[in-house]
Structures are given as structure tokens and as C-alpha cells.
Amino acid sequence: MFENRAEARIDLSRLSENIELLKNKSNTKLLAVVKADAYGHGLVEVAKAAVTAGADWLGVALLEEAITLRKNGVITPVLAWLVPPGSDFQSAVDLDIDIAIADMNAFNQVSQLANKPRIHIEVDTGMSRGGFLDEWEDFLKSDLSQVEIVGIFSHFARADEPLEKQNIQQLNQFNKMVSQLEAVGVKPKFKHFSNSAATLVNPAATFDFVRTGIAIYGLSPDVQSLGDSNKLSLKAVMQVRAKLHLVKSVPAGSAVGYGALHVTKVPTKLGVVAIGYADGIPRIALNAGVFVNGQKAPIIGRVSMDQFVVDLGPDSSAKSGDWVIIFGDGSRGEYTADDWGAASSSINYEIVTRIGPRVPRIYAPHVY
């Protein structure tokens, strides 16, 4: 049996702890967002663990994600919110999947189904992305008896900036649109608005359940404005590690990688890490690296498709075959997903979700 050359180690006990914290903080029902393969953590495994931990709902972007959950025995209420006109709406009805409706085209299609679909009306309160806006009056005048309107929801544009007045404006607009829907005789059972950031800092947006994504994975919605995981009492669920394919000593003046972007200034040891941009490591990453033998070793040169090079330092005792940590929770001094996000001019969301299928997900307790 061979060992993996790289792996993403997932600690589901930490997922449970994060969900418990968020439920206690919001004091309401919780929808665990498991779209995009559960932010790279594994759709089915995470969904089942989230339900065991107390999640009342599951949320996905795509209908096919919801269907996958149903086919794997998940019976918890599931909402899919990126289901465009022309989708297999009948499967949603057959599998008891709630779907979001954001325009008249989609509404007219679901209204024609033999059995009433369970729908949540998405309204645009100021993000100008998804949701009813210019067609809202047309919707309110429509025959709404052919569908079961289970919920109404919107999404914050700046919840991770708690002092921004747009948050209040969006809430006011949402309440107005809810009142308009109720005025035509429809009172949805569920109103929902809060994402992870709002769940953490805006109790006024709690409503009937909160939709928590990045926070259940132990990562901050915005490190700059809200602080990191430690400040928010969240515990990072994923650790990514890889093997050193090769360790070699090189003299000063050695060019490293494509384009020879880095030239060593002194004699040193280099480590070739067996993971690359085909696995989700950002090609543009600078000022990140790996953690090995209690020390950080920075990336030098360009990240390649399957590998990248780090400077281990001249006195390193690392050897080929050793495991190195790409990112973890930072408790031992290793780089974090936040660090890799900053190093790539991006965010922690992108770092965890882009870890590719060539990197096996290993579900192990006490990863850290």
C-alpha cells in the first residue's frame, strides 16, 4: 500500500464545535452551507456530520448538489438557490428539495409542475446580484396558488463590515418586501438573511434561521474587519499537508523554477513539495510556504502544476519523504488559509474551496 503524496485532513469534531457555537450565538435554527463540495471539505461527509451536530437545514448552490445529498441518504431539509430556468425542477419536487426562485421565468416554469414545488423567494435588497427586483410587482400580481412558498430570503453585500449603513438599508428593504408579500396573502414559514458574518455580529438579521458557510469550517468571514478564527472562537477544520518529493543542497546563485524568478543568495537546502496549482495551490502565491520541523519554509520561484519549491535553510534536517504542512490552524506556527489567501491577493474561502480532487480528503479526529 502506498501513502498519499498530499492530503487534506478534515477534523469533523471541529465542524461540530463550530456549529454548536454558531447555534448558541444566533439562538435560532441553522442552515449549514455545504455548496462547492462543502467548501472543499467533502459534500456528503460534511453534510452528515453537520446534521449530527445540530444543523436544521442544509444549503447548496446547485440542484445537482442537493440531488447528490438525497441519493446518499440525507433526509434533512435542503435548499438549492442557484437553480436557473430550464433546470430539472421535477426532480426537486420528487426528492423533496426546496429551490430558490429569483425571476418570473423560473417561477412560470415551476408553476406548471403537477405537484406543488417547495420554493423560497429570493429578493434583491441591494446587492444587485440574485433575486426579484424589477419583476417584483409582476410576481406579487401572479397566481401564487400553484406553488408552496416556504420561505423568503435575501443576501448581504457587506455583512462583514458591520458599521456600513447598507446593512441597515438592506434589512429595511427586506422587511418591506416581506410585508408586501404578506399583503397579498402569502406568509412564508421561513424568513432568512444572515450569512456567517451577520450571524456573528448582527442579531437583528437572525429571523427564522441563519445560513452559515465559512464559519462552520472554522474560518473568519473577513480577517481584516472581523478578526481571525481565534478572535471569533472558531476552529479551522481543514489541514492540508504534502510530502517533500526531494531535498537538495544548492550553491549561492542557483536559479529556481520557471522564469528563474528567484536566485539563491547563499548556499541552502531546497525542498520540492509534491503539490501544485493543479491541486489548488495558487500559482501567484508569494510570502507563503510550508511548515516543517517546527519552522516555516517560504516558497521561492513560481508554483508549478504539480509541485513547488521552498527554501528549507542550510541547516535543515528535512529529508525527502517528510510531511510538510501547507496550511492549518496556525497553533503550531504553521501558515493558515488566511495567510495563503493574503499571499495570493485573495481570501481564505478561495484557498479551501480550490483544493482539487487529486488531494484525498482524510477524515481524522484531532488533526491539530
The model's pLDDT over 244-294, given as tens digits with 9 standing for 90+, comes to 999 999 999 999 999 999 999 999 999 999 999 999 999 999 899 999 999
**Of these residues, 176, 258, 265, 319, which one is catalytic?**
258
Whose CA is closest to 299, among 266, 333, 344, 330?
344
Together in a domain, 19 and 83: yes
- What is the structure's pLDDT at 3? 85
> Is 277 considered catalytic here?
no
Same domain, 54 and 104: yes
pLDDT value, residue 364: 86
Q: In angstroms, what CA-CA distances link 96 with 62, 71, 101, 309?
A: 15, 12, 16, 49
In order of 2, 142, 357, the CA distances from 360 in angstroms are 13, 49, 7
| Domain end residue (candidates: 190, 218, 246) | 218
Q: What is the pairing mode between strands 295-300 and 308-311?
A: antiparallel
Could you tell me if 209 and 250 lie in one domain? no
**Residue 306 maps to a domain:** yes
What is the per-residue pLDDT for 8? 98
One-letter amino acid at 311 equals D
Tell me if 231 is assigned to some domain.
Answer: no
Among this protein's residues, is 368 annotated catalytic?
A: no
What's the pTM value of the predicted model, to 2 decimals?
0.96
**Neighbouring C-beta atoms of residue 203, cutoff 10 Å:** 13
CA nearest 306: which of 230, 367, 359?
A: 359
Per-residue confidence (pLDDT) for residue 282, from 0 to 100: 97
Q: State the pLDDT at residue 1.
A: 67
Of the residues 184, 218, 252, which one is the last residue of a structural domain?
218
Q: Is residue 228 part of a domain?
A: no
Tell me the helices (H) and strands (E) count for the chain, helix number first: 12, 18
Residue-level pLDDT at 61: 98
SS3 of 334, please? coil
Predicted pLDDT of residue 365? 82
155 in the same domain as 280: no
CB within 8 Å of 359: residues ≥ 6 apart: 6, 7, 8, 240, 275, 279, 280
Last residue of a domain, one of 218, 252, 280: 218
Which residues does the chain have with pLDDT short of 70? 1
80 within domain boundaries: yes
Query: Are residues 248 and 281 both part of a single domain?
Result: yes
Q: Catalytic pick from 23, 29, 35, 243?
A: 35
What is the predicted pLDDT for the residue at 2?
Answer: 73
What's the structural domain count of the chain?
A: 2
Q: Which residues pair with 327 in a beta bridge?
A: 240
Assign residue 43 the CATH number of its domain.
3.20.20.10
Residue at 224 is within a domain: no
Same domain assignment for residues 188 and 269: no
Return the CATH number at 257.
Answer: 2.40.37.10
* Whether residue 212 is found in the same domain as residue 257: no
> Does residue 308 form part of some domain?
yes
- Taken in order 193, 197, 200, 203, is the CA torsion positive or negative? negative
CA-CA distance, 160 to 200, in Å (whole number)?
9
Eight-state DSSP code of residue 280: T
**Which structural domain, as residue segments, surrounds residue 327?**
238-363
Whether residues 264 and 184 share a domain: the answer is no
Query: Is 6 a domain residue?
Result: no
- Tell me, yes or no, whether 207 and 284 share the same domain: no
Specify whether the CB–CB gap between 47 and 38 falls below 8 A: yes
